[in-house]
Amino acid sequence: MYKIKLLVGFHYEEEEILSEERVRERAPMGYGGASIAFIAVYGAINGALALVPIFPYFGGGGFIPLSVIFTAIGPLVLGPIGGILAAIIGGFIGMFVSPAMFPLGLLDVLLTGILPALFVALMINTDNTLDWILTILAVLITGVMFLVFPYVWPGLAGETPDMLFFLSTLVFWVPWLIILLTPIGKSWIPQWARGDDIMKRYIGVFLAVLMGIEVFYYWWGAPYWYIFNYPVALAFAANLGYTWWWPILCIITTIIAIPVVEALKRSGLPRIPRAIW
């Protein structure tokens, strides 16, 4: 911000000229800092992308839609609140335009449509102490539920999990819990994702998305295991498959996200609180 003096009559009057940064900061905001139009458009794009399959379910029976990638990107470009609201809009649209991708109906709006955005929003904002605590609690609850539901409680007839199954669940939450308890998870990942060093930005975004998606995996998968009576052997095979399936998806997500973020940084659009641009 700077000032200029204008000669009015016989007096000088000072007028503030706002820099581009100040204009962006003072721009009117909507939900969570993102405009309603931006949220609605992004949500509509998410919903339409539910028509596009990218990965088959491990074990068959359906496909992961492309909307999962853009749902995970939402909190990066719209902030946590805007990203989650866009995910809700996209989930409902996706349920109607691509019912095959949402076989559980409204439950899948939550599982496939909203939870990726929720967990990525938590992971990318751990530099905020409250969000960090909530993220640790979410990971701990996920770990406990992974070990219990559905094969220990309430249990499935004829299915008893063995040690290999329990060990296969650990990869999806234990490494991320350890990282969250270090400066890497508490501060560095959010800083890298928002910094100017492009390599660190790729690393920060990839780790935040990977941590979010791998924690999301349990909440997305376990209801299917229970509802469709998955044998333990099939759930174990799915765990093994997704140990490399999710990292590939997250690499793709990062490759898409970074150019979008860089374009938004240069766009002159109002900045959104807690978005990474």
228-242 tens-digit pLDDT: 999 999 999 999 999
Q: What is the pLDDT of residue 62?
A: 77
Residue 185 lies in a domain: yes
Which among 90, 79, 91 has a CA at the least distance from the CA of 120?
79
Answer whether residue 114 is part of any domain. Answer: yes
In a domain, 277, yes or no: no
Model confidence pLDDT, tens digit, residues 203-232? 999 999 999 999 999 999 999 999 999 999
CA distance 87 to 62: 21
In a domain, 96, yes or no: yes
Residue 273 lies in a domain: no
Question: Domain for residue 248, yes or no?
Answer: yes
Listed range (31-35, 52-56, 82-86) with the worst mean pLDDT: 31-35
Q: How many domains does the chain have?
A: 1
The pair of three-digit structure tokens given for residue 135, joined into one six-digit string: 């993220």
Is residue 256 included in any domain, yes or no? yes
Q: Are 204 and 189 in contact (CB under 8 A)?
A: yes
* pLDDT of the residue at 14: 43
**Strand stretches in 9-123, DSSP E:** 11-17, 53-56, 63-65
Domain span at residue 75?
Answer: 2-267
Residue 276 resides in a domain: no
What pLDDT sits at residue 213? 98
Percent of the chain past pLDDT 70, that is, above it, reads 88
At 57, the pLDDT band (50, 70, 90 cuts) reads confident
